[in-house]
A = this chain, B = another copy of it.
């Protein structure tokens, strides 16, 4: 099959492209930058002409739509980019889907569950009013509704996926990254970081996530939505302890705080549906995935690690009016 992965240079995109190619598909990728890959096209999905060029030049059977401005903190600081990429970008793809009839896999986020206090099963939002807590969450929820409205109006076929804290080698550090990436970076570079004691999350390794995503065409059910996450449920301090334990470092630089305001305390996830339909299997434990990630980081960042100033001089961004800096995840 011919498949396009938007956001194909991202942490998850890279692994997914590889996985799909290993299964024998012709896999194209697009992302914001130029790249050497023969099956890669530079494309900003928020620019209709660019994505139209790409889609109309090939007959894709599937489009995995991963391209997005990600993360709450990033969404607050770069909200113009967020709304253009996530909502206008997805709308562009949906319009093209009307004409070119590819099947789509849309990557959403667990953030759509807002502050839902109970088990996050896929139908929560069909039964309950959930208000999203930040702009990033809103873009993902809105795009899900755009997908549903388009499917209804134009009979397009799309599956939605809600990711829960995916991590692993390939996630390059920035202050906007997920909690494992940020803790690992800080611990490696002996920089202080904050740990909120009352938050719990599940974590999924990139490899496990990509394998499940690659399974979707084997049992494609248009209109369905799936949680993809882990089975284990950890508090944030456990993560930090694991990282420091592998690095044999004390927790002197860790700033412990009770809980973070305006953030979901706990995310309890139901992954039964993805296990049944998509053969989702969270195989890699944190105890395996974290040292693997640390080793990858040590290799990638050997320069900043040998010269600590270059890491610590990386400024902690602060924007007037934003109180959402240094979020826990």
Residues in A lying within 8 Å of B, measured CB to CB? 48, 79-80, 83-84, 87-88, 91, 95, 98-99, 125-135, 138, 142, 145-146, 148-149, 152-154, 261-262, 320-321, 323
Contacts and interface: CB of A to CB of B under 8 A. Distances in A.
Given A84-B84, A323-B154, A129 B131 contact: no
A148 B127 contact: no
Nearest to A87: B83
Contacts of A84: 80, 83-84, 88
A148 B125 contact: no
Contacts of A154: 321, 323
B129 A138 contact: no
17 contacts: A48-B80, A79-B88, A83-B84, A83-B87, A87-B87, A95-B321, A98-B321, A99-B321, A125-B129, A126-B129, A128-B129, A129-B130, A131-B148, A142-B142, A149-B262, A153-B323, A154-B321
Contacts of A128: 129
Nearest to A144: B131
A132 B145 contact: yes
- Counting from the closest, the 10 A-B pairs by CB-CB distance are A98-B321, A95-B321, A129-B129, A79-B91, A138-B142, A83-B88, A83-B83, A80-B88, A83-B87, A128-B129
A83 B154 CA distance: 22
B134 A149 contact: yes
Contacts of A261: 153
Given A133-B149, A134-B149, A154-B321, 19 more contacts: A79-B88, A80-B84, A83-B84, A83-B91, A91-B135, A99-B320, A99-B321, A125-B129, A126-B129, A127-B129, A128-B129, A129-B130, A131-B145, A131-B148, A138-B142, A138-B145, A138-B146, A153-B261, A153-B323
Contacts of A91: 79, 83, 135
Nearest to A261: B153
Nearest to A138: B142
A138 B138 CA distance: 10
A295 to B, nearest CB: 39
A252 to B, nearest CB: 32
A51 to B, nearest CB: 13
Nearest to A47: B80
A268 B83 CA distance: 32
B130 A135 contact: no
Nearest to A321: B98
A142 B91 CA distance: 16
B135 A146 contact: yes
Nearest to A97: B321
A87 B82 CA distance: 11
A82 to B, nearest CB: 9
B262 A152 contact: yes
A299 to B, nearest CB: 39
